[in-house]
Amino acid sequence: MYWFGLYHWRRRFRAVGEGLVVALAGVALARRRSDRASRALAAVAVALGGARAVRTLSTLTSPPPWRLERYKYDALARELPLTDAGRVLDVGCGTGRSLVGLAPRLSGSTTVVGVDVFDDRVILGNGPRLARRNARTAGIAVEPVRGDAGSLPFASGSFDVVTACRVLHDLPADRHGDALGELRRVCRADGAVGILELPIVPERVDASPERYWRTRVGDAGLSVRTAARVPRRDGDEPYVVLVAAPT
């Protein structure tokens, strides 16, 4: 069984705690005061605080930390030469969700490297150990490396395939160019760069997600070979898949 960690756990746990505090304050008020107004106020506090705590707890399992929505990774992997790749780099691998998603298309002889800042303030348990464990469960061996997408600790042309799955949108807009430039730099001249992105663009950008990422990819010296929208099963806006090659 996989365990990909809890996203935004600090913020969500804090919200749960705040909701419980409000609810408990309502219970305490009801015990101390018996007049109608106080009891009504206490009931409101319990209802609102409890509802907030329950609602926030439900978001801790969205996405479920034990389940992989493979279809979105399949949409990217189908467009990449993974079976023939000798070295593959996944940028922003985190706890290994994208590595697990790409695993069925990888050859047993492929050297797989995952790089991430491994910030456990965002994802509970985010670290090399968990990335390695999840990859092993999926049947692949991965070498986790701590590093930043804007300054990858690898030589130029080190990898046949470089992927970045649902990570670029987490960077400030003024760092997108640096990160994409690094993906291009570490990719072989005849290799491929694959990107899976949420339908998100920076504030004050008047462009569709597909057009925004196509433009940034092109500006980084990459030629787009494939651009596709992947419908999401939750009905939200589609994911963006781009496959490009160094120019």
- In the prediction, which pLDDT does 57 show? 86
Which are the contacts of 62, defined by CB distance < 8 A and separation ≥ 6? none
Average pLDDT value for residue range 39-50: 90
- The DSSP element (H or E) to which 56 belongs, if any, is helix 36-59
Strands of the chain, DSSP E: 87-91, 111-116, 142-146, 159-165, 187-197, 222-230, 239-246
Question: Where do the structural domains in the chain lie, given as residue ranges?
Answer: 9-59, 70-246
Q: Tell me phi and psi for residue 134, to 5 degrees.
A: -65, -40
Q: What is the pTM of this model?
A: 0.88
Express each pLDDT in 58-86 by its tens digit: 888 877 899 999 999 999 999 999 999 99
Determine the topology of domain 70-246 in CATH.
Rossmann fold (3.40.50)
Confidence bin at 154 (pLDDT 50/70/90): very high
- Region 6-18: what's the mean pLDDT? 89
Which token pair is 18? 């705040």
User: Which tens digits make up the pLDDT trace of 194-217?
Assistant: 999 999 999 888 899 999 999 999
Q: How many CB atoms lie within 10 A of CB 64?
A: 11
